[in-house]
Every structure is written in C-alpha cells, then in structure tokens.
Amino acid sequence: MNSHLQNEPKTLEELGWNPHFAQHFAPYAEQGYSVGRITLEHKRLYRIISEYGELLGEVSGKLRYEATGRDDFPAVGDWVVIAPRELEKKATVHAVLPRISKFSRKAAGDTVEEQIVAANVDTVFLVNALNNDFNLRRMERYLVLAWESGATPVIVLSKADLCEDRPARIAEVEAVAIGVPIHVVSAEHDEGMEQLAPYLGQGQTIALIGSSGVGKSTLINKLSGVDVQRISEVREGDDRGRHTTTHRELFLLPGGALLIDTPGMRELQLWDAQAGFHGAFEDIEELAAACRFHDCRHDREPGCAIQAALADGTLDKSRYTSYQKLQRELAHQARKEDARLQIAERNKWKQINMSQRQNKKRNKR
C-alpha cells in the first residue's frame, strides 16, 4: 500500500480489519466491490487507505439520497465499501460497514444532529492537562460519551511537569473516573509514556479526545517518533494552548497501532448517551437505587440515600450538581431529537409519495 501513514501498512489486518468487518463485507465482495478505511474527512471528501493505496473518495448518489443524517455518512475510522478507480487514485463509497464503536457528540450550532468524532475505536484516551486548565466537570462530560461509544475509556493526565501536587489531582480524578485506568504523563519530558504501551498493539485503534491545549499534538509526536502535528505555544497567564489540530485524522504508529487525533473540543454537547451516563455516574446511580422510594426525587423525601451521602460528605456536592445538569441536558436533547426524527420521517414519506405520483404520470403517457 502507498500511504502518507508512517510505516505504511501491508495488509488490511494492520489497519484494524477483523472478522466482524469481514462478515459484513462478504455480500459486497461477491458483487466485486473493494474495501478501505477512512483516514481523513474534509467537506464530504474522504481520504481512504485500501489495497490500492491511498484514494480520494466521495459517496455515491444512492448513499447520499438514502442518508437520513450526518451519522449515515462515513467518518474517520470507518470501513467503507468502495468501487476504486485505480488509475485516477479515486473511489466511490457505496456503503459504510457496521461500526463496532463510535464516539459522538451533538453537532455544533442549532441543528439537532449527531456528529461522529471517531469510529471503530478500541480505546479512547481522554487527555486532560494537569495545569491551570484542569477541569473535573469537563472530564465527567467526556467520560459519559466515552462509555457510550463502546470503546474503553482511559484517562491520560498530561503536562505532569506543570503540576505541583500530583497525588491530590489523581485522587480528584479517581473520585469521578471510577474504575477507569489513569496514567500521568509528560510527553515533552518523555515521562510516563511507557504506561501507554499496552494499548498500542498492532491493529488497535486509539482516539485522542481532549480540549484545546491539553498537549494532544505533543503526545502524538512522541508516540509517532516524528513531528506529524504542529504544536502551538500555550497562552501566557493561563497555561491554555491554542487549536493546532483542525480536522480528524488517522495515523499509523511505529508499533502498529492506529491513532485518531481530533480537534480540541472545549464545547462538547452530549448526544444520546443514556448508557454512557450510567457508566460515568455509577456511584450516584447505585446510591439512587438504595433510596427508600423507587420514585424518589432526591430532594426532601425520607430515606433518600443521595441526600444522606451529601450530608455526610461521601458524595461531593459539585459532582451531584454536575450529574443533575447533564441529566437535564440529555433529557432536553432527547426531546429535540424525537421532534427531528418525526419531521424527517414525514419528509421521507412526502418524497416517496411525490416520486410515486411522478411515476404514475409517466406511465399514463
């Protein structure tokens, strides 16, 4: 394969191909189609790595017509069914193979739409800096979506050299990331990087998620062994960096792992994350299950386990406030999404009926 990726892959297996994808691709293979993996997306144009090398792809008219939302289009990390035009180094994308995982958020703006940040990821590195930008509430939000994604979340606390009290910070993170592996690193000083090696096996896909300035680009450059990402200096006064990554992209690391970098996301709105919500707040959910009344509102009801935990300090007030806020956000999002789906369904049937009427007119001629 010819590729911009470091240590260019020789087989699909090196790109993460496995029996799950092979099973779903089998019917397409019988029709003569090929397969590739999306390494870059830019305004509905896609860079695809395949057995024909690197191809520039766009979706077929049929796929575009049948798509009901952005989540039906390919995303970085997706395996796609393609008809390659080898001499042109181009391909038409006819289908997206079923994903084993997807890290999603609500698309920016007022539209109620899912944006897939990374697909078919095995491990999500949730990168948080141990400087002035340290934020537990943002970490909780990232954990909700990581648990929902189907990938395994791992906390990476970066910029360890800028932290004066690491044990205190780690204790704070352990209180909100229950059961999640936590690794403290300083990529710039090559400290703690060996802890990440177990996640970087050949064919394993890792996504780096974090807000601007947490050190993702430095981390990628250290893992890659070359400067594949440009690094911006942090702003003076608050330790916060500027955006360096402007798009999602998949890299192949020297050890054979695949890494998806994402733009810094200071704003991360939740998207359909009920399962992830329960995973991120398992401690509070267990307390709620212990309340005397199953419909307890956790306000002034007698026998409320949550109020008791708040009173004796075993449940942090700010964590419970964050739980309530995210719960309200999810409920609001669900209502808006339900309305969007109803409108989309009505429009779909309008198009079908219009097409049927046009066909009848043509047949009468």
- Spans of the chain, pLDDT less than 70: 1-10, 106-113, 227-247, 263-279, 331-365
What are the tens digits of pLDDT across the range 148-183? 888 999 999 999 888 888 899 999 999 888 889 999
Contact, 239 vs 163, CB < 8 A? no
The domain covering 13-96 belongs, at the CATH homologous superfamily level, to Nucleic acid-binding proteins (2.40.50.140)
Position 353 scores a pLDDT of 63
**Distance between CA atoms of 253 and 196, rounded to whole angstroms?**
13
CA torsion 100→208→45→7, rounded to 10°?
Answer: -90
Query: Which residues fall within 8 angstroms of residue 191, CB to CB, at 6 or more apart?
Result: 160, 161, 185
HSE-up of residue 264 (Cα within 13 Å, Cβ side): 19
Residue 43's alpha-carbon distances to 82, 270, 273, 340, 350, in angstroms, are 18, 23, 26, 23, 28
Query: Which tokens sit at 324?
Result: 């309530």
Position 284 scores a pLDDT of 84
**Distance between CA atoms of 330 and 246, rounded to whole angstroms?**
27
Give the containing element (helix H, strand E) for 96.
strand 90-96
Contact, 249 vs 299, CB < 8 A? no
Position 50 scores a pLDDT of 92
Size (the chain), residues? 365
**Distance between CA atoms of 138 and 265, rounded to whole angstroms?**
10
Topology, domain 102-261? Rossmann fold (3.40.50)
Position 351 scores a pLDDT of 64
> What is the phi-psi region of residue 53: left when phi exceeds 0, alpha when psi lies from -120 to 50, beta otherwise?
left
Contact, 134 vs 169, CB < 8 A? yes
**Distance between CA atoms of 23 and 27, rounded to whole angstroms?**
8
Q: What are phi and psi of 52, to 5 degrees?
A: -95, 10
Query: Which residues fall within 8 angstroms of residue 293, CB to CB, at 6 or more apart?
Result: 301, 303
Q: What are phi and psi of 72, to 5 degrees?
A: -85, -10
Residue 181's alpha-carbon distances to 130, 156, 157, 335, 344, in angstroms, are 16, 8, 11, 34, 41
All structural domains of the chain with their residue ranges: 13-96, 102-261
Position 243 scores a pLDDT of 41
Residue 328's alpha-carbon distances to 107, 274, 321, 335, 342, in angstroms, are 18, 12, 11, 11, 22
Query: Which residues fall within 8 angstroms of residue 136, CB to CB, at 6 or more apart?
Result: 172, 173, 176, 318, 319
Contact, 323 vs 314, CB < 8 A? no
> What is the phi-psi region of residue 43: left when phi exceeds 0, alpha when psi lies from -120 to 50, beta otherwise?
left
Query: Which residues fall within 8 angstroms of residue 26, CB to CB, at 6 or more apart?
Result: none
The pTM of the whole model exceeds 0.75: no
